[in-house]
Amino acid sequence: MKVLVVEDEKGLAESIVEYLTREGFICEVANTFWQADEKISLYQYDCTIVDLTLPDGDGFDIVQTLKKIAAATGIIIISARNTLEDKIKGLEIGSDDYMTKPFHLSELNARVKSLIRRRSFGGNNDMIWKEIRVQLQSRKVFIGEKEAILSKKEYDLLLYFLANTDVALTKESIAEHLWGDHMDSYDSLDMVYSHIKNLRKKILERGGKDYIQSIYGIGYKFTAP
């Protein structure tokens, strides 16, 4: 899976590339508008991550060009501009997602994966990890052969974990993934804890192993014990 990262802040581009490379993506970076323009006209990408504010151009133009020459590419905008107009404009001209800076790399990773999955399988495939199988179409979860009935939040949480396996996830990133960023209350961290407890219980009850490892002071990691 090839991903192009268009971001002028070199450090941030580096972080994104490093994170996504660990997740098995092949990443390329464009630091300027013209580099990005050249790359998208020469190569094919499964997903492009575009920053809107570039020193020599507007990210919206890249999105429009991409839509013209490579409609199959998934596009995620990452921008510091958080106005509704920008978000609406981004989606209108054909991007698939819009993330406001600062964002969690784990969240970006989850969105890239879900976007590629939607693009390549139409959301019609299963996510399988060890004995856990998630039917995305019907939103059903099976542990081995047994079905686990999850609440909406538990289901979202499981998908987030499955998109970020073997990675330490902060409590904040999980809370934000589940409730959006207006839930800034410290209660949300308690709520994360209780949802994780329930999810763990449901997996264990159906004969699964305990994959959720808590990391002191930071958050959780979904990994094989």
Partner 1 sequence: MKLLQKTSRIYLFASLTIYVAVGIAFFWSIKYMIYDEVESRLKVEKRDFEAYVEEHDEWLDDAYFVENKIEVTPTHGNISDEVIFKDTVILNRYEGTLDPFRQVTFYASIDGDPHRVVIRKSMIQSYKLIEAISGIMIAFLALLMVGMFFFQRRLSGKIWQPFYESLANIKDFDWTKNKKLELPKSEITEFNELEDVMVKMASKMQHDYKSLKEFTENASHEMQTPLALINARVEQFIQTGDLGKEQTYWIEEIYHASRRISRLNQGLLLLAKIENQQFTDHENTDLSELAAAKLKDFEDIISHRNIQVNLHCDEKFIVNMSPALAEILIVNLVNNAIRHNHQNGELSIKTGTGFLEVSNTGNALRADPASLFNRFKKESASGESLGLGLAIVKQICDNYGLQIAYHNHESLHKIQISV
Q: Which residues here bind partner 1, judged by CB under 8 A?
A: 9, 11-12, 15-16, 18-19, 22, 53, 78-84, 100-106, 153, 167-168, 170, 172-173, 178-180, 182-188, 190-191, 194, 215-218
Residue nearer to partner 1 on the CB measure, 13 or 143: 13
Residue nearer to partner 1 on the CB measure, 19 or 222: 19
Smallest separation, CB 5 to partner 1 (Å): 12
Question: How many angstroms separate the CA atoms of 224 and 209, rounded?
Answer: 8
Smallest separation, CB 45 to partner 1 (Å): 21
DSSP 3-state of 31: coil
Smallest separation, CB 112 to partner 1 (Å): 14
| Contact yes or no for 44/66 (Cβ under 8 A) | no
Residue nearer to partner 1 on the CB measure, 132 or 178: 178
Sheet holding 146-148, edge to edge: 126-129, 132-135, 140-143, 146-148
26-30 and 2-6 as β-strands: parallel, antiparallel, unpaired?
Answer: parallel
91, two tokens: 């989606």
Residue nearer to partner 1 on the CB measure, 135 or 170: 170
Smallest separation, CB 143 to partner 1 (Å): 24
C-alpha to C-alpha distances, 57 to 15, 33, 80, 85, 182, nearest whole angstrom: 22, 5, 15, 19, 31
- Residue among 67, 68, 59 at smallest CA distance from 33: 59
Smallest separation, CB 122 to partner 1 (Å): 29
Residue nearer to partner 1 on the CB measure, 155 or 179: 179
DSSP state of 201: H
